[in-house]
Amino acid sequence: MYREEHQIFREAFRRFLEREVTPHMERWEEEGIVPRQVWRTMGETGFLCPWLPEEYGGSGADFLYSVIIAEELAKAGAVSVMAPLHSDIVAPYLYALGTEDQKRRWLPKCASGEIVLAVAMTEPNTGSDLAAIRTRAERDGDAWVLNGQKTFISNGILADLVIVACRTGPPDSGAKGISLICVERDAPGFTRGRNLKKMGLHAQDTAELIFDDCRVPAENLLGELNRGFYHLMDHLQQERIMAAVMAQAMAEAMLEMTIHYARGRTAFGRPIASFQHNAFKIVDMATEVKLGRAFLDRLIGDHMEGKDVITDVSMAKAWIAEMANRTAYQCVQLHGGYGYMEEYPISRFYRDVRVIPIFAGTTEVMKLIVAKRLGLL
């Protein structure tokens, strides 16, 4: 599946992370945000939206380049740098649904890092149940007027362009009355709440977004009116694949660092890896990690071929995310007291990986999707 040019790209991105990201992660975690210049640098070096056609600022690369970026960020302990969200979750909405004017207006700046993207779905009382969205948009002449609040929005502080899911149909219209509207940073009536303090992803800005008679041009409607829910459903599969990619790469990195630690750390005069109980723990983790990799690689290939992968994506998002968290628990345990210290990378991995079974659809929602597609519910 991967060719020589993919491996060259992977090595180049690893060097970029070693030079521009990894040395600064501790400071960014303390500050609660990744500096905007990092986005510009990533854009200048071709690491944002590489899949975009050249006419929109990309290089026309295949999906594997996006997978490589997500994997290497995860392995470096830098999942707080939410480039995959920007490039592979939000930008595809603009490319697939945007008018030619919208695409030419926004996409080149997304590729260059001049525009940072976010998508706003979750509300204080609406998580995975997107059909219950209450943020409202009313047409007023040549503008849309938005009122409501979003929460837990990744890239919420830095975002220059937010795709907002809002209700444009009657209050009881459910999934059939939702539209997507693009809100730019300087839109009147658009404000941001605080940068939320989280258990993990400390360097990633997560914010509340407030729309108080927020006016945006009518042409900022993205896709079809009242078809926003279905647009979201069409694109959630790739979002969930990227979540699984992150979880799998983190599991692989945690296993590798723990094997290295367990071989070198001694107790009672011998390496802790040589105790049968610990060795069997590591074997169990290694088996699950390898199973996850085999499943994920096949899923990525099927996705690139345009196959219907909804069932397998939901399985992968649920199982790989939970597997990565099982791995994190056992790896911290094998590190002992040092695993609880921030100076050891396993500590950051442990708290960062915890959110993956929650965002992009919880494990429970993924299981509901699979159960329905198996005809069980």
**254 to 166, 199, 346, 347: CA distances (angstroms):** 39, 18, 7, 10
Alpha-carbon gap, residue 26 to 239, rounded angstroms = 27
Are 108 and 127 found together in one domain?
no
The number of beta carbons lying within 10 Å of the beta carbon of residue 271 is 15
Handedness of CA 106, 110, 114, 116 (dihedral sign): positive
Query: Average pLDDT of 16-27?
Result: 97
The region, left, alpha or beta by phi > 0 then psi within -120 to 50, assigned to residue 126 is beta
145 in helix, strand or coil? strand
Same domain, yes or no: 45 and 146:
no
Sign of CA dihedral 299, 303, 308, 310: positive
Residues 220 and 235 in one domain: no
Domain final residue, candidates 225, 259, 293: 225
Q: What are phi and psi of 68, to 5 degrees?
A: -60, -45
pLDDT band, very low/low/confident/very high, at 362 (cuts 50, 70, 90) = very high
User: Is residue 55 located within the same domain as residue 150?
Assistant: no
CATH number of the CATH domain containing 156: 2.40.110.10
Q: Are residues 139 and 262 in the same domain?
A: no
Q: Give dist(CA 324, CA 206) in Å, integer.
A: 22
Structural domain span for residue 203: 118-225
- pLDDT score of 368: 97
Query: For 202-226, what is each residue's pLDDT tens digit?
Result: 999 999 999 999 999 999 999 999 9
Burial class (CB in 10 A: 0-12, 13-18, 19+), 3: exposed
Is the per-residue pLDDT at 128 higher than 70? no
Tell me the average pLDDT across 118-144.
90
Q: How far is CA 28 from CA 38, 74, 233, in A?
A: 11, 16, 33
DSSP 23-62: GGHHHHHHHTS--HHHHHHHHHTT-SSTTS-GGGTS----
Residues 363 and 263 in one domain: yes
pLDDT at 156: 97
> What pLDDT is attached to residue 130?
78
The percent of residues above 90 in pLDDT, for the chain, comes to: 96
CATH code of the domain covering residue 66:
1.10.540.10
φ, ψ of residue 126 in degrees (nearest 5): -140, 110
Q: How far apart are CA 258 and CA 263, in angstroms?
A: 8
Residue 11 designated active-site: no
Mean predicted confidence (pLDDT) in 42-60: 97
Catalytic residue (one of 71, 72, 239, 252): 239
Q: What is the 3-state secondary structure (H, E, C) of 263-308?
A: HHCEECCEEHHHCHHHHHHHHHHHHHHHHHHHHHHHHHHHHHCCCC
Instruction: Say whether both 138 and 237 belong to one domain.
Output: no
Q: Which of 225, 254, 281 is the last residue of a domain?
A: 225
Average pLDDT score, the chain: 97
Model confidence pLDDT, tens digit, residues 285-334: 999 999 999 999 999 999 999 999 999 999 999 999 999 999 999 999 99
pLDDT of residue 348: 97
Share of the chain above pLDDT 70, in %: 99
Domain closes at, from 225, 249, 269: 225
CA distances, 338 to each of 3, 239, 261, 270, 275 (Å): 39, 34, 10, 18, 19
Q: Are residues 138 and 105 in the same domain?
A: no
205 and 264 fall within a common domain: no
Round to whole Å and give the CA distance between 33 and 220. 28
Q: pLDDT digits over 172-199, tens only?
A: 888 899 999 999 999 999 999 999 999 9
* Tens digits of residue pLDDT in 2-15: 999 999 999 999 99
| 220 to 9, 161, 322: CA distances (angstroms) | 35, 11, 38
Say if residue 282 is in the same domain as residue 192: no
N- to C-terminal Cα separation, the chain: 36
In this predicted structure, the answer to whether residue 104 has a pLDDT above a threshold of 80 is yes
Question: Are residue 288 and residue 370 in the same domain, yes or no?
Answer: yes
Q: Give every CB contact of residue 376 below 8 A, 6+ residues apart in sequence.
A: none
Kindly state whether residues 146 and 245 are assigned to the same domain. no
Element (DSSP H or E) covering residue 211: strand 206-217
CATH number of the domain that 326 lies in? Answer: 1.20.140.10
Total domain count, the chain: 3
Question: For residue 126, what pLDDT is reported?
Answer: 77
C-alpha–C-alpha distance, residues 231 and 180, integer Å = 8
Q: Letter for the amino acid at 173? A: S
